[in-house]
Copies of this chain bind each other. A is one copy, B any other.
Amino acid sequence: MKRQTLHQTIVGEIEGRILSGEWPPGHRIPFEHELMAHYGCARMTVNKALAGLVKAGLIVRRQRAGSFVAHPRPASAILDIPDIQADIAGRGMAYAIRLLDRRRRKPEAGKAEEIQLAGGGDLLALTCVHLGDGRPFALEERLISLASVPEAASVDFAETAPGHWLLGHVPWTEAEHRIAAISADRRLAGLLDIAAGTACLALSRRTWRGTDHITHVVQYFPGNGFDLVARFTPQGG
């Protein structure tokens, strides 16, 4: 561990409390003069640390009101993580979700990935179909770690898409996407109302908050006439 500067220390401690969930979205973080007294430093030093957290999108500051933990990306036009519910609504279609299966279970023995995701707790396994104007749009199979997100156990996912709910309630620090093209098997073809053998996109995504694994989801989209779109700007760090 290399020697770190004072404002890095301040950034690190605040970041830790936000990512651990100790300070939830909307929580007011200490005033500059309080942090100044706590660390025994000048206001500019605290200010530099907080300015960095603003740039990182972790906090929001308003003059006179104070500084608050940011609400994680409010539907974001530049979608790093695609939100099917927001996406369908953005195309001007009526969104609906059909929850096919929901169960709370232990990770399957031998499946290393599930055990790691569960992190000692239970998993919430969901299967659902996203509908746009009543027609099948995507099939989603999701596992949520209840150790990382205990609140998810009491959410009614027949109303809100799981991904939509998670995006609004759980800040994430890292995501991994895997995208593949597959031919629809009989089950998938039936659920999406397409011909068996049609080329489909399979989008697999795993999401972390710090070192905690939050969720793993696989979404299947019919390939004909449908694209995944993502816009990026190069990010530093």
Question: Does the CB pair A55–B227 fall under 8 Å?
Answer: no
Residues of B within 8 A of A173 (CB): 233-234
CA A183 to CA B75, docked complex, whole Å? 32
Residues of B within 8 A of A226 (CB): 180
Interface bin, chain A: 35 or more
Q: Confirm or deny: A231 has a beta carbon within 8 angstroms of a beta carbon on chain B.
A: yes
Question: Does the CB pair B227–A174 fall under 8 Å?
Answer: no
Q: Confirm or deny: A176 has a beta carbon within 8 angstroms of a beta carbon on chain B.
A: yes
* A 95-132 to B, binary, CB cutoff 8 A, 1 in contact else 0: 00000000000000000000000000000000000000
Known: A173-B234, A236-B57. A223 touches B181 (CB 8 A): yes
Question: Does the CB pair B235–A233 fall under 8 Å?
Answer: yes
Question: Does the CB pair A80–B235 fall under 8 Å?
Answer: yes
Of the candidates A174, A176, A230, A235, the one having the most CB atoms from chain B within 10 angstroms of its own CB is A235
Known: A177-B230, A223-B199, A229-B176. A236 touches B55 (CB 8 A): yes
Give min CB distance, A30 to chain B, whole Å. Answer: 21
CA A182 to CA B234, docked complex, whole Å? 28
CA A233 to CA B15, docked complex, whole Å? 14
Question: Does the CB pair B174–A231 fall under 8 Å?
Answer: yes
CA A200 to CA B81, docked complex, whole Å? 22
Known: A80-B235, A181-B223. 13 other contacts (CB 8 A): A81-B232, A172-B234, A176-B229, A176-B231, A176-B232, A178-B228, A179-B179, A180-B201, A181-B199, A182-B199, A182-B223, A183-B199, A199-B199
Q: Which 4 A-B pairs have the closest CB atoms?
A: A181-B223, A57-B236, A199-B199, A181-B199
27 sampled A-B residue pairs with Cβ under 8 A = A52-B55, A54-B236, A55-B55, A55-B236, A57-B237, A58-B236, A72-B234, A80-B232, A171-B234, A173-B233, A174-B231, A175-B233, A177-B229, A177-B230, A177-B232, A178-B228, A179-B228, A180-B228, A181-B181, A181-B182, A181-B201, A181-B221, A181-B223, A182-B223, A183-B198, A199-B200, A233-B237
